[in-house]
Structure 1
Amino acid sequence: MNLNDPYLWLEEVEGPKALEFAKAENKRTLEHFKGTATYHEVEQGVRKILLAEDRIPGVSLKKGELYNFWQDGKHVRGLWRKTSLSSYKTAEPKWDVILDIDVLAKKENENWVWKGASTLGPKHDRALVYLSRGGKDATVVREFDMNTRQFVKGGFSLPEAKTNMSWKDENTVFVGTDFGPGSLTDSGYPRIVKMWKRGTPLSEATTVQEASVTDMSAYSYIMDENDKRHVFHSIRKGFYSSANWYEDKSGHKVRLPMPEDSEFWGVFADKLFFELKSDLGSFKSGSIVFMPLSEISKGEAAQKSLRALFVPTEKRFIQGLNPTKNHILLHVTDDILSRIEKVTFTSADSWTTEPVKLGDNGMAYVTSTEDESDTYLAQYVDFLTPTSTYIGNASDKENHLELLKKSPVRFNSEGLKTQRFEAVSKDGTKIPYFVVSKSDLKMDGKNPTLLYGYGGFQAPMQPSYLNYIGKVWVEKGGVYVLSNLRGGGEYGPAWHQSVLKENRYKVYQDNIAIAEDLIRRGFTSPQHLGISGRSNGGLLTGATFTTRPDLFNAVIVGVPLLDMLRYHKLLAGASWMDEYGNPEDPKMREAILKYSPYQRLQKEAKYPEVLIMTSTKDDRVHPGHARKMVARMKELGHPVYYYENMEGGHAGSANIEQAILWNTLEYTYLWEKLK
Structure 2
Amino acid sequence: MILKRMMTMVSATLLAAAGAPVPAPADDPYVWLEDWTGPRAMQWVEAENKATVATLQGDRRYKAFYEQALSIASAKDRIAMPMMIGGRIFNFWRDADHPQGIWRVTSEEDYTSAQPRWQTVLDLDALSKAEGRKWVWKGASILDPQERLALIHLSDGGEDAVSLREFDLEAGRFVEGGFNVPVSKQNVDWRDQDTLLLARDWGEGTMTASGYPFVVKALKRGAPLSEAVEVYRGSPADQLGVYPMVLSDGDGNRAAFLVRGVTFFGNETYLLTPEGAKKLPLPARSSLQGLMQGQLLIQTSEPWVSGGVTVPAGALASVSLGDMKAGGVLTPRILFAPNARQSIDGVAATRSRVVVTINDNVRGRVLTFASGADGWTSEPVKLPDNATISTVAATHRNDRVYLSVAGFLAPTTLWAMNAADPAPAQVKAMPARFDASGLVVEQYEAVSSDGTKVPYFIVHRKDMKRDGSTPAIMTAYGGFEISLTPSYAAIMGKLWLERGNSFIVANIRGGGEFGPAWHEAGRKTKRQIIYDDFAAVARDIFARGLSSPSKFGIYGGSNGGLLMGVQFNQHPNLWKAVAIQVPLLDMVRYEQIAAGASWVDEYGSVTVPEEKAFLERISPYRNIRKGVTYPTPYIWTTTKDDRVGPQHARKFAARLKEFGLPYLFYEDMAGGHSGDADIEQSARLQAMQMVYFARELEGE
Render the CA deviation track for 1:15-34: whole Å, top value 9, x for unaligned.
Answer: 11111111111111111112
Contact 2:550 2:575 in 1 (8 A): yes
Secondary structure in structure 1 of the residue aligned to 2:282: coil
Partner of 2:249: 225
* Amino acid of the structure 2 residue aligned with 1:636: F
Q: Which aligned pairs between 1:141-152 and structure 2 lie closer than 5 A?
A: 141-152=164-175
Residues 546-598 of structure 1: per-residue CA shift (max 9 Å, x gap): 11101111000000000001111111111100000011211111111121100
Q: Is the Cα–Cα contact under 8 Å of residues 439 and 461 in structure 2 kept in the other structure?
A: yes
Report the 3-state secondary structure (helix = DSSP H, G, I; strand = E; otherwise coil) of the residue aligned with 1:78. Answer: strand
Give the whole-Å Cα distance in 2 for the aligned partners of 1:673 and 1:206.
58
Matched, 1:302 2:329: yes
Alignment length (residue pairs)? 668
- Measured on the aligned residues, the alpha-carbon RMSD in Å equals 1.4
Residue 218 of structure 2 is matched in structure 1 by: 195
SS, match of residue 352 in structure 2: coil
Which residues of 2 match residues 326-405 of structure 1 at below 5 A? 326-347=352-373, 349-396=374-421, 399-405=422-428
Judge conservation of contact 1:75–1:102 (CA < 8 Å) in 2.
yes
Deviation at 1:85, TM superposition (A): 2.2
CA contact (8 A) 1:3 1:599 kept: no
What is the aligned counterpart of 1:312 among 338, 361, 371?
Answer: 338
TM-score (norm 1): 0.97
**Aligned counterpart, 1:293:** 321
Q: In the alignment, is residue 491 of structure 1 matched against residue 517 of structure 2?
A: no
2:664 to 636, 641, 656: 641
Indicate the residue corresponding to 1:257 in structure 2. Answer: 281
What is aligned with 2:312?
A: 284
Q: How far 1:55 moved relative to its partner? A: 1.6
Q: Give, in angstroms, the shift of residue 54 of structure 1.
A: 1.6
Asked whether the 8 Å contact 1:272–1:292 carries over to 2, the reply is yes
The equivalences for 1:6-21 within 5 A come to 6-21=29-44
| Equivalence for 1:427 | 450
Give yes or no for contact 1:241–1:263 (8 Å, CA) kept in 2.
Answer: no
Q: 1:297 to 1:173 in 2, by over 3 A?
A: closer
1:645 and 1:653 in contact (8 A); partners too: no
Question: Helix, strand or coil: the match of 2:40?
Answer: helix
What is the deviation of 1:294? 2.9
- 2:615 aligned residue (592, 601, 613): 592
Within the candidate set 648, 664, 669, 2:687 is matched to 664
In structure 2, distance between residues paired with 1:157 and 1:552: 50
More displaced stretch, 84-93 vs 136-145: 84-93
Q: In 1, are the aligned partners of 2:334 and 2:376 still within 8 Å (CA)?
A: no
Aligned residue number for residue 620 of structure 1: 643
Cα pair 1:582 1:589 within 8 Å, conserved: yes
* 2:28 match: secondary structure: coil
Residue 467 of structure 1, CA deviation: 0.8
Q: Which secondary structure state, in structure 2, belongs to the residue aligned with residue 320 of structure 1?
A: strand
> Is contact 2:292-2:396 (8 Å) kept?
no
Question: Helix, strand or coil: the match of 2:617?
Answer: coil
Which residue of 351, 358, 365 corresponds with 1:325?
351
**SS, match of residue 386 in structure 1:** coil
Corresponding position: 1:76 with 2:102: no
Q: Which moved more, 1:273-282 or 1:473-482?
A: 273-282
2:318 counterpart letter in structure 1: F
Tell me how far apart the structure 1 counterparts of residues 119 and 562 of structure 2 sit (CA, whole Å): 42
2:291 corresponds to 1:267: yes
SS at match of 2:493: helix
Supply the distance in 2 between the matched residues of 1:10 and 1:365 (Cα, whole angstroms).
40
TM-score w.r.t. length of structure 2: 0.93
Question: Which stretch of structure 1 is more off in the superposition, 421-430 or 477-486?
Answer: 421-430
Q: Is the 8 A contact 2:70 2:679 kept in 1?
A: no
Give me the identity figure in percent: 39
Instruction: State the distance in 2 between where 1:228 and 1:271 align.
Output: 9
Q: Which runs of 5+ in 2 are unaligned?
A: 1-24
- 1:298, distance to aligned residue in structure 2 (A): 7.0
The secondary structure found in structure 2 opposite 1:318 is strand
Q: Which amino acid aligns with 2:530?
A: V
SS in 2 for 1:593: helix
User: Quick check: 1:60–1:377 contact (8 Å CA) kept in 2?
Assistant: no
Q: Tell me the distance in 2 between the aligned counterparts of 1:573 and 1:102.
A: 32
Give the gaps of 5 or more residues in structure 1: none
The CA deviation string for residues 323-369 of structure 1, in whole angstroms up to 9 with x for no partner, is: 1001111111111111110111133x423101010112212232110
Letter of the aligned partner of 2:348 in structure 1? N
Please state how far the C-alpha of 1:238 moved relative to its aligned partner: 1.1
Q: Tell me, what secondary structure is at the counterpart of 2:163? A: strand
